[in-house]
Amino acid sequence: MGKHLVANAFVAAFLAMAAAALTVALVPQHGSWWNAAVQLSILGGFVPLIYAVNIRIVPVFARREWTSLNALRVQVSLGIVGAWLTFASQLGDRIQFERLGLTAVLLAGLLFFKNVVTLFRQPAATKPALPLPYPDQKKVDQIATRFTRVSGAYLLLGLIFGLLKSFWTPDWGRWDLV
């Protein structure tokens, strides 16, 4: 995943969505596959899309550059591999591999959070952000920076809950809505 990191993340996300859709088509014969398909669409579809959009767009508007392309590669790769490992483990009912996959996805989320924090700790370039600044651009940038950090924290919370649910199944009820 060199210079095509964003494109590769998009392709991987769309492949995960397609696989999840095909899995849902088989749910009538395999009811337990529903959770596997949902997790693949979220962890393998939406999360890599979030990563790809952030990798491309955030530095442009933040007027900063990512400090490590390798950290971004590891982040995206861990997320994608973890999502597919989680998916495959749920199809075969292998809880150990599910935990390994969820741990990989969580590590990718932690790395995402670290990359975003590192990006925003750098001083902004003197060139204007695109589109050209408006009088309130600085205020908008501050709001966007805070929102990006908060959304990264919520992503981590969701990934942590996902991993925790693999260790504890309640006696009654389900974790699905969490």
What pLDDT is stored for residue 39 in this prediction?
Answer: 87
Contact 85, 104 (CB under 8 A): yes
173 phi-psi bin (left φ>0, alpha ψ -120 to 50, beta other):
left
What pLDDT is stored for residue 72 in this prediction?
Answer: 93
What pLDDT is stored for residue 159 in this prediction?
Answer: 79
What pLDDT is stored for residue 116 in this prediction?
Answer: 85
What pLDDT is stored for residue 174 in this prediction?
Answer: 59
Residues 6 or more apart in contact with residue 117 via CB below 8 angstroms: 149, 152
What pLDDT is stored for residue 1 in this prediction?
Answer: 44
What pLDDT is stored for residue 137 in this prediction?
Answer: 66
What pLDDT is stored for residue 53 in this prediction?
Answer: 86
- The predicted model scores a pTM of 0.76
DSSP string, the chain: --TTHHHHHHHHHHHHHHHHHHHHHTTTT-TTHHHHHHHIIIIIIIHHHHHHHHHHHHHHHHT---S-HHHHHHHHHHHHHHHHHHHHHHHHT-HHHHHHHHHHHHHHHHHHHHHHHHHHHSPPPSSPPSSPP-TTHHHHHHHHHHHHHHHHHHHHHHHHHHHHHHH---SSS-STT-
pLDDT values of the chain reduced to their tens digit, one per residue, 178 residues: 457 899 999 999 999 999 999 888 877 777 678 888 888 998 899 989 888 888 888 887 777 888 888 999 999 999 999 999 999 988 887 777 888 898 999 999 889 888 888 888 888 776 665 565 666 767 776 777 777 778 778 778 877 877 777 777 666 665 555 5
